[in-house]
Amino acid sequence: MSEPTIKQVRAYTVRGGGADYHDQAEGHWIDSQIATPMSKYPEYRMTRRSFGLNVLGTLVVEVEASDGTVGFAVTTGGEIGAWIVEKHLARFIEGKQVTEIEKIWDQMFNATLYYGRKGVVINTISCVDLALWDLLGKVRQLPVHQLLGGPVRDELVFYATGARPDLAKEMGFIGGKMPLVHGPAEGDEGLQKNLEHLAKMRSAVGDDFWLMYDCWMSLDVNYATRLAQGAQAYDLKWIEEALPPDDYWGYAQLKRDVPKGMLVNTGEHEATRWGFRMLLEMECCDVIQPDVGWCGGITELIKISALADAHNKLVVPHGSSVYSYHFVITRHNSPFAEFLMMAPKADEVVPMFNPLLLDEPVPENGRMAASKLDKPGFGVRLNPDCELSRPYQH
Ligand SMILES: C[C@H](O)[C@H](O)[C@@H](O)[C@@H](O)C(=O)O
Ligand SMILES: [Mg+2]
């Protein structure tokens, strides 16, 4: 039976939240002082927009089939991603059958190997891949999770990432992950402030609620080890992305040195099965956290997840809205999911890619029934009020 073919791929950009969720207005918790690899420079310490964390913007990829069905997806990628789609990747997409997802992925990856492998090129490939899975789901009239083998549980449970784990507990989440504020450049005084904040949050949430620190690549092994040792008193559940992504050796050391029982997690800025093979085979972490919009898409995350499963490791994808929910609900080794609190004060649940997607499901009382994910594809629509621009055409 001949399947519909892909008639056209189009790439758009949009600013202001959406998939580039760091692209927020001033005063948002996600742009408050947060430790980063740039914090050693005082002029770039107080906000992440100051060093350009929001420069890319959102990439939107649409794939239109010969029968008129349109699939789409969004990720962090902006104009660079749009150029890569229109000027390079389109040739591997247009004319293919909607079922040739694996072949399209392999051609996109190998054709960009000389300038890609990680970062915005893999973000872009991920976005095309997600759009293709959305298209296939819409052509088959099935949600993506059904194309992946179907749910292994009736609902998703979430931890919340944001500045207010105390409020996250009240909203029914299973835990709260806070951004680390002070990095090594602020010395022992900053380390003490990090521990005092953790202590304050622990007394606010009580003993039976997970608390985690997200260190966003900002530390060195010694600082991270001392932070972990100090945090043990407050039952820190995991220390996340303590080191730069390429420091596999440092992660292996940190994992050996943290207090027994504390998890070392990382992976949101890692890409492809080869990057995660390094994390797994070098014993770098307890839980890998690929972002499906940054690691290579669903097609690559299937491979990454199977590799992790063989290593008996959990895969808890970095929050990426419906794109991770449809995956997590189908995997035994993904027992819970991340929800990023995108309200400016982290005091209410709003859709993660707000305002870009319509019908974007959100957790209720920290949970989401599988039935909330039953529309075809990823079950979301682009918000027509968000003005897209198409900077390049092929
Ligand atoms: C909250 C963290 O600083 C990042 O902004 C967040 O995107 C990411 O690290 C996460 O794990 O959610
Ligand atoms: Mg993180």
User: Does residue 51 lie in a domain region?
Assistant: no
pTM over 0.90: yes
For ligand 2, the distance from its centroid to the CA atom of residue 227, given in whole angstroms, is 17
Nearest-angstrom CA–CA distance, 382 and 87? 24
Measured by CA distance, the residue closest to atom 2 of ligand 1 is 179
User: Does residue 27 lie in a domain region?
Assistant: no
Asked if residue 153 and residue 137 are part of one domain, the reply reads no
Cα–Cα distance list, 148 to 122, 154, 309, 322 (Å) = 21, 15, 16, 14
**Residues marked as binding for substrate?**
22, 48, 338
Asked if residue 96 and residue 188 are part of one domain, the reply reads no
Q: Please state the domain count of the chain.
A: 2
Asked if residue 116 and residue 206 are part of one domain, the reply reads no
| Mean pLDDT (whole number) for 144-165 | 98
Asked if residue 226 and residue 339 are part of one domain, the reply reads yes
Task: Report the Cα 253 to chain-centroid distance in Å.
Answer: 25
Residue 228 maps to which CATH number?
3.20.20.120
Q: Note residues around ion ligand 2 (Cβ under 5 angstroms).
A: 214, 240-241, 268
Confidence of residue 357 (pLDDT cuts 50, 70, 90): very high
Q: Where are the beta strands (DSSP E) in the chain?
A: 6-14, 58-65, 70-76, 155-161, 175-179, 210-214, 236-240, 263-266, 287-288, 314-315, 337-340, 357-358, 367-369, 381-382
For ligand 1, the distance from its centroid to the CA atom of residue 240, given in whole angstroms, is 9
Question: Which of 182, 214, 287 best tests ligand 1's pocket when mutated (most atoms within 8 Å of CB)?
Answer: 214
Confidence of residue 2 (pLDDT cuts 50, 70, 90): confident
In this structure, the chain runs to a length of 394
Q: Are 135 and 63 in contact (CB under 8 A)?
A: yes
User: Does residue 156 lie in a domain region?
Assistant: yes
Asked if residue 277 and residue 160 are part of one domain, the reply reads yes
Of ligand 1's listed atoms, the one at least distance from the Cα of 241 is 9
Q: Evaluate the CA torsion angle 320, 20, 273, 86 in order and state its sign.
A: positive
Where in the sequence numbering do the catalytic residues fall?
Answer: 318
Of 75, 144, 11, which is closest to residue 290 (Cα–Cα)? 75
Measured by CA distance, the residue closest to atom 3 of ligand 1 is 179
Asked if residue 177 and residue 116 are part of one domain, the reply reads no
For ligand 1, the distance from its centroid to the CA atom of residue 4, given in whole angstroms, is 39
Mean pLDDT of the chain: 98
User: Does residue 75 lie in a domain region?
Assistant: yes
Measured by CA distance, the residue closest to atom 10 of ligand 1 is 318
User: Does residue 306 lie in a domain region?
Assistant: yes
Residue that is last in its domain, among 75, 106, 141 = 141
Pairing status of strand 58-65 against strand 6-14: antiparallel
Measured by CA distance, the residue closest to atom 1 of ligand 1 is 179
For ligand 2, the distance from its centroid to the CA atom of residue 240, given in whole angstroms, is 6
User: Does residue 217 lie in a domain region?
Assistant: yes
pLDDT in tens, 28-62: 999 999 999 999 999 999 999 999 999 999 999 99
User: Does residue 46 lie in a domain region?
Assistant: no
Q: Residue 83 sits in which domain range? A: 6-20+56-141
Of ligand 1's listed atoms, the one at least distance from the Cα of 21 is 7
Asked if residue 83 and residue 232 are part of one domain, the reply reads no
pLDDT in tens, 286-300: 999 999 999 999 999
pLDDT in tens, 318-335: 999 999 999 999 999 999
Residue 1 has pLDDT above 80, yes or no: no
Task: Report the Cα 107 to chain-centroid distance in Å.
Answer: 24
Nearest-angstrom CA–CA distance, 224 and 230? 10
Asked if residue 350 and residue 307 are part of one domain, the reply reads yes
Asked if residue 245 and residue 192 are part of one domain, the reply reads yes
Asked if residue 285 and residue 207 are part of one domain, the reply reads yes
Cβ < 6 A, ligand 1 pocket: 30, 34, 161, 179, 214, 216, 268, 318-319, 340
Residue 69 maps to which CATH number?
3.30.390.10
Peptide bond into 184 cis (omega under 30): no
Asked if residue 312 and residue 210 are part of one domain, the reply reads yes
Starting from the CA of residue 161, give the closest ligand: 1
User: Does residue 284 lie in a domain region?
Assistant: yes
Backbone φ and ψ for 4, nearest 5 degrees, come out as -60, 150
For ligand 2, the distance from its centroid to the CA atom of residue 357, given in whole angstroms, is 22
pLDDT in tens, 177-225: 999 999 999 999 999 999 999 999 999 999 999 999 999 999 999 999 9
SS3 content of the chain, % helix, strand, coil (to 5): 40, 20, 45
Residue that is last in its domain, among 141, 171, 191 = 141
Residue that is last in its domain, among 91, 119, 141 = 141
Asked if residue 209 and residue 132 are part of one domain, the reply reads no
Give this complex's ipTM.
Answer: 0.99
